[in-house]
Amino acid sequence: MTTLEIKLSLPDSVAKEAQAAGLLAPEAIESMLRERLRARRIAELREAIDQMASGGDAPMTMEEIEAEIQAYRQERRRASGA
């Protein structure tokens, strides 16, 4: 688990209301972050589906696939220090 210290500057009214609602508790913040991350992943998936459905991109050629594989392998080697 990672421990983070977050400093927020909020209007007094918002801070008081959020505190009273329990939204500044670590569990509440974690829940909000998880929900936001989930929503972002869903939006990205929908965007990818829409893009595929629109047929905007032509399928990759075998040469393009091979180039992607080689670039991935090179990046992995670079990241591992090999």
5-45: pLDDT as tens digits: 999 999 999 999 999 999 999 999 999 999 999 999 999 99
Residue 59 lies in a domain: yes
Residue 8 lies in a domain: no
Residue 47 lies in a domain: yes
Range of the domain at 52: 13-80
pTM over 0.75: no
pLDDT digits (tens, 9 = 90+) for 57-66: 677 789 989 9
Residue 62 lies in a domain: yes
Number of structural domains found in the chain: 1
How many Å apart are CA 75 and CA 13, to the nearest integer? 49
